[in-house]
Structure 1
């Protein structure tokens, strides 16, 4: 695939200054872009090899209470995950072209589809509600792993201020949370430069961990043959083809938020070709390794223990070697930080900056988002169904991404006018195609969202809920193009 990049000079950017936009929202100058193939290769490693993803594999393999039974063999689960990774790769690369071609962040990419006013709601839901909420939740979950490490190394840590709770959390738990929170915020303040260095260190550590765990699992299970021939309960299993799409949709749902806002990172790409090559290599290699290793580790560990492991941290916690437990937990802690940076805190900062361009820059956005993540007390919200709420918000992003890609490729033909996108609020923008609220995009998003959520309320359509990302994304894309044609005729 051949990509052509738009040259963004300092002179072009200067012409857009003075319209109320800060430097973090203005298009990135071509000469200032620093992310190459290697940076994009390591960028998403933490988002692949993290605790929720490994636990999701157990859901694909074992019949969980109240869940859908796929009935796929370990080998088929590996293949389904690897194929899902290829679909994720296409999504991330293609939706990142607007950023790498024009140097624009997610907020402006969103504006090109929904209008300058219309972009505020989906931007707020992705960049503030979902991002800050998930940042808080993942920081809390990561702090629990840090707590385990500290107790393993220093047993007396658990006895600090016994019986004392502060806002519903123990003193040792609060110390672990704030320490892990500070590490996440530091990476966020460092921005793309620090994140690139961080992921460059994380990538080899993750591979050492997962390959080591895979070797252990093969030995613990009595050989690779025992793992591949493991009999997964298939009673009540769905059609195998549909089962594959369930895996595809589940994996894509994880990427709904970072995939929608990938322009926040690709805007710093040296070229579209480099982000395309880097993301393709990183995601394809990452998902092939993940597909093979996650299944072997989950099945091998379960064979060894005699019961299915539904939580990778429980599997690690059962090891007898303290150094091995600490190293493994530390690697997953680092992957959580990487996921939090790429998927939550950085997008939140950019979106806050976009919502209030004259008052909030990137660093202020990081500060506001990080403080908000503590104020909402995630340890309390975990008991109040916050995860279900955030998942519902995330469901909106499938249709949003569908509209964004349909607009960029099918309607705009990859051509955006930066002078019109960065409109002057003081000027008469009545004829500006990006001004106001794009009704066709909102209509397509709302209809698609209703369609992908129907399965939650209509029993006869329950299958939709298992492939909701596909339903939302493609129905929104198709409807947006149709609505646009109607608008053009009018």
Structure 2
């Protein structure tokens, strides 16, 4: 009896998601499963939102068709390369983002970027829950007649009220996403395999329908070519900002890949096939139908189409929000472990799910989302710069699993280069724009990589690495 109880205790404490250790090769996932995860991960409403932004949705400045396509190609291409390079490092080491960051930020220094990522994923989770609740609120309407929270009364004019129906939808889907995220990577794969082929098909059909409503391809091209005023660099920043957190988060899923080829296929599934498609559909919808969100557009035709739209929207965002919670626990868990607090991953997922649901219920998406992704696009790319510079420029030999828990507390080259890069990203986005409208976030990341490589040699980091390599 005692032996059985001990066996249960051991099983409960096994870290099946490898929060604090590398993923062994015999625990890696199939390439097809991981590709479907990335299709679902990339299928996020922000892709449509960015397409609408490029089209000047709501009377704002926009980009003509050629510049919009160029912004999508350059922005998504940058995300593809950034994601794949981080993914290869994750695949080779089997480490999640928190653990691999220790080699370039230090055993305590990694807390800084991981705290940033924890806040970002929490913000994304609450935003996506809010997006889904908005759609359900539009579908159900407000038969109760009850308004729970009015943003306008707090000075946020033009922001829709949070009705009882929207609140119920936030709570319901927040609970569903939290429960499935608690189950880990296997649950994310199961959801993705079922919904991903369908959601891509619906998006393509909706895009064709919106072009036809606007008078056909010729009419769309003519209207698109009349747009101007946004600036190509700003457009690229918007594209990058919408998904840079996902690019960095990708490390936590790429560690389950079996090969470098699988890494490239997964990155392409998101940044070649899925997210660019949503950018284009959002752009088409805004130009042709005056609505970048094809789900809201479909709801105006019939009950059946409305049901299809709401179902597609909800399931497509399911894997994305699962990933936000899943990765959040992989940031907060190692942070707490580094300061001597032992917490179960499932408990962390539950806590983040509750907090995110509360934020979604008080209108985080409706009020803060636009500024949230702009700031994200400017300040988040430098976060991965020390990892890229250290792994590809300083040397991969130091990434030995035996040295994971022997890293110095602070890697000053990583901390300093990230802080400078994040500051530059914010400055060039909100204070003084770069010449030729160059994208602030990507520029800041490149600067951070250069700074890291230069100052690494003059910091204690180089000496520490030499001593650690001698131990091997």
TM-score range, shorter chain: 0.7 to 0.9
Q: Distance in 2 between matches of 1:412 and 1:124?
A: 26
| 1:410 paired residue among 368, 373, 393 | 393
Q: In the superposition, relative to structure 1, how do residues 81 and 271 fare at CA in structure 2: closer, same or farther (>3 Å)?
A: same
Is residue 136–residue 166 contact of structure 2 (8 Å, CA) maintained in 1? no
Give the counterpart of 1:257 among 231, 241, 245: 245
CA contact (8 A) 2:42 2:274 kept: yes
User: CA 1:356 to 1:458, structure 2 compared with 1: closer, same or farther past 3 Å?
Assistant: closer
Question: Residue 146 of structure 1 corresponds to which residue in structure 2?
Answer: 136
| Equivalent residues in 2 for 1:3-82, closer than 5 Å | 23-36=18-31, 38-62=32-56, 69-73=61-65, 75-82=66-73
2:414 to 441, 456, 464: 441
Counterpart-to-counterpart distance in 1, 2:410 and 2:398: 20
Deviation at 1:366, TM superposition (A): 0.8
The DSSP-based 3-state class of the residue aligned with 1:229 is helix
Question: Alpha carbons of 1:235 and 1:336: their partners in 2 closer, same or farther (altered >3 Å)?
Answer: closer
Q: Confirm or deny that 1:345 pairs with 2:325.
A: yes
Q: Using the TM superposition, give the Cα deviation of residue 60 of structure 1 relative to its aligned residue in structure 2, in angstroms.
A: 0.9
Partner Cα distance (1:397, 1:166) in 2: 31
CA drift of 1:202 comes to: 2.0
Structure 1: distance between partners of 2:139 and 2:54: 29
Q: CA deviation at 1:30?
A: 0.9
Q: Is 1:159 aligned to 2:143, yes or no?
A: yes
How do residues 160-309 of structure 1 correspond to structure 2 at under 5 angstroms? 160=144, 162-163=145-146, 165=148, 170-234=163-227, 236=229, 238=231, 243=232, 245-287=233-275, 289-301=277-289, 308-309=290-291
**1:26 positional shift:** 0.9
Native 8 Å contact 2:237 2:378 kept in 1: no
Displacement after TM superposition at 1:392 (Å): 3.6
Q: Could you tell me the TM-score, scaled by structure 2's length?
A: 0.82
Q: Tell me: CA distance 1:436–1:215, structure 2 relative to 1, closer, same or farther (3 Å).
A: same
- State the shift of 1:188 in Å: 0.7
Q: 1:27 to 1:138 in 2, by over 3 A?
A: same
Query: Offset of 1:467 from its aligned partner?
Result: 1.4
Separation in structure 1 between the aligned mates of residue 134 and residue 57 of structure 2, nearest angstrom: 27
| Cα deviations by residue, 1:126-160 (Å, 9 ceiling, x for unpaired) | 02x22122212321221121233344xxxxxx334
Residue 109 (str. 1) matches residue 109 (str. 2): no
User: Would you say the 8 A contact 2:21–2:95 is kept in 1?
Assistant: yes
Contact persistence 1:99–1:264 (CA under 8 A): yes
- Take 2:373 and 2:55, find their aligned partners in 1: how far apart are those partners? 25
Structure 1 position 213, deviation (Å) = 0.8
Structure 2: unaligned runs, 5 residues or longer: 1-12, 152-161, 464-472
**CA root-mean-square deviation:** 3.1
Give the CA deviation at 1:291: 5.0
SS in 2 for 1:24: coil
Residue 477 in structure 1 maps to residue 467 in structure 2 = no
Cα deviation for residue 51 of structure 1 reads: 2.3
- Check whether the contact 1:39–1:200 (CA below 8 A) recurs between aligned residues: yes
Q: How far apart are residue 167 of structure 1 and its match?
A: 11
Aligned to 1:430: none
CA distance in 1 between partners of 2:438 and 2:138 (Å): 34
Distance 1:286 1:111 in 2: 32
In the TM superposition, residue 371 of structure 1 has moved relative to its aligned partner by 1.9
What CA deviation, in whole Å up to 9, does each residue of 1:420-467 have, x standing for no partner?
A: 2124xxxxxxxxxx21111111221122222222235545x3669871
Pairwise CA distance, 1:322 = 1.4
The correspondence for 1:134, drawn from 115, 121, 124, is 124
Count of equivalent residues: 436
Q: TM-score normalized by structure 1?
A: 0.80
Residue equivalent to 1:329: 310
What is the alpha-carbon distance in structure 2 between the residues aligned to residue 214 and residue 419 of structure 1? 51
